């Protein structure tokens, strides 16, 4: 098969340079077997324009830093092969996040703030005892936590979410997932009401209008739609109870 020459139209802008103007710049790259967008971008940076900004660390869908819009869809550059893509590929930075330059955005500030808002740590009533024996949990419990703890904070779900674009305070499906992760953790003793105060709002589950693009574009295939539905059901059940729950123990996995 003939080798293809791919044309990349790449967003260029340095927001810290007062004379920089946002624009698309074209680069042509000969496709190689099993080429990824990361490989193509690296070749552009090494052979054509060393000033091109994009982020990567792991090159294996673990660090979450290489997410960008590929022909309008949020994807990880290191995990996206060029073969299925058309000859012309437009690369833009993820929307919503602060632009650092070209394809590089600051997702860290948003994720740090989200983690603070959902209190993304294990809440215990007991004081820490350094000499205490480790607490055991079943394999099923550990697996349930692990399944919800695989988020790499790439920002694809936030970039794909229409609601997040309109409402910057929306916690997004990544925030809901984080809450769901602590609800299945038997070590977390926070009362159910404290969780519902965070997510039972327009910035939480009621802010979602159900387009579920987050679920379509999560590169780790996390169960974003089902956890959102689960949290909604939990909220609805709690609202139907005759008096507020005072549950403080572990919440069963459903």
Q: Does 208 bind ligand FES (CB under 6 A)?
A: no
Which residue in the set 56, 201, 220, 225 belongs to the binding site for ligand FES (CB under 6 A)? Answer: 56
Is the separation of the CB atoms in 155 and 105 below 8 Å? yes
57 binds, among ligand FES, ligand SF4, none (CB under 5 to 8 A by kind): ligand FES
Q: Which neighbouring-strand residues pair with 99?
A: 105
Q: Kindly state the smallest distance separating residue 172's Cβ from ligand SF4, in Å.
A: 8
Q: Does 220 bind ligand SF4 (CB under 6 A)?
A: yes
**In the block, residue with structure tokens 């099993």:** 34
Q: Does 222 bind ligand SF4 (CB under 6 A)?
A: yes
Sequence-ordered alpha helix ranges (H) in the chain: 37-47, 108-117, 139-148, 156-160, 162-166, 172-183, 192-199, 213-217, 224-240
**Cα 177 from chain centroid (whole Å):** 10
Q: Which neighbouring-strand residues pair with 91?
A: 10, 70
Q: Please give the Cα distance from 156 to 67 (Å, whole number).
A: 7
**Cα 116 from chain centroid (whole Å):** 16
Q: Does 70 bind ligand FES (CB under 6 A)?
A: no
Q: Does 215 bind ligand SF4 (CB under 6 A)?
A: no
Q: What are phi and psi of 54, to 5 degrees?
A: -155, 160
Is the separation of the CB atoms in 82 and 3 below 8 Å? no
Which residue in the set 8, 41, 64, 103 belongs to the binding site for ligand FES (CB under 6 A)? Answer: 64
**In the block, residue with structure tokens 């007991």:** 126
Q: Kindly state the smallest distance separating residue 149's Cβ from ligand SF4, in Å.
A: 10
Q: Does 152 bind ligand SF4 (CB under 6 A)?
A: yes
Q: Does 62 bind ligand FES (CB under 6 A)?
A: yes
177 binds, among ligand SF4, ligand FES, none (CB under 5 to 8 A by kind): ligand SF4
State how far the alpha carbon of 159 is from the alpha carbons of 28, 105, 169, 251, in Å: 27, 11, 14, 31
Q: Does 186 bind ligand FES (CB under 6 A)?
A: no
Q: Please give the Cα distance from 240 to 119 (Å, whole number).
A: 26
Q: Kindly state the smallest distance separating residue 151's Cβ from ligand FES, in Å.
A: 12
Provide the mask over 165-204, with x wherever binding to ligand SF4 is found by CB under 6 A and - wherever it is not: ---------x--x---------------------------
Q: Kindly state the smallest distance separating residue 63's Cβ from ligand SF4, in Å.
A: 11
Residues in contact with ligand FES by the rule CB under 6 A = 56-59, 61-66, 76, 78
Residues in contact with ligand SF4 by the rule CB under 6 A = 151-157, 174, 177, 218, 220, 222, 224
């Amino acid at each position: 098969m003939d080798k293809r020459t791919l044309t990349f139209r790449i967003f260029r802008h340095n927001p810290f340079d007062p004379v920089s103007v946002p624009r698309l710049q074209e680069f042509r790259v000969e496709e190689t077997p099993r080429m990824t967008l990361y490989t193509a971008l690296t070749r552009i940076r090494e052979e054509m324009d060393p000033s091109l900004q994009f982020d990567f660390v792991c090159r294996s869908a673990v660090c979450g830093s290489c997410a960008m819009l590929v022909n309008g869809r949020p994807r990880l550059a290191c995990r996206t092969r060029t073969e299925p893509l058309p000859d012309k590929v437009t690369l833009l930075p993820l929307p919503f996040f602060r632009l650092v330059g070209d394809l590089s955005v600051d997702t860290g500030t948003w994720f740090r703030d989200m983690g603070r808002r959902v209190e993304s740590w294990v809440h215990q009533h007991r004081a820490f005892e350094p000499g205490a024996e480790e607490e055991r949990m079943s394999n099923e419990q550990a697996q349930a936590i692990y399944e919800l703890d695989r988020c790499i904070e790439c920002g694809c779900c936030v970039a794909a979410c229409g609601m997040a674009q309109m409402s910057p305070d929306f916690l997004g499906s990544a925030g809901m997932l984080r809450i769901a992760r602590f609800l299945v953790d038997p070590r977390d003793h926070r009362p159910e009401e404290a969780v519902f105060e965070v997510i039972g709002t327009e910035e939480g589950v009621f802010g979602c209008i159900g387009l579920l693009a987050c679920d379509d574009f999560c590169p780790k295939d996390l169960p974003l739609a089902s956890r959102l539905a689960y949290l909604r059901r939990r909220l609805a059940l709690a609202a139907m109870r005759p008096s507020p729950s005072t549950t403080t123990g572990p919440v069963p996995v459903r």
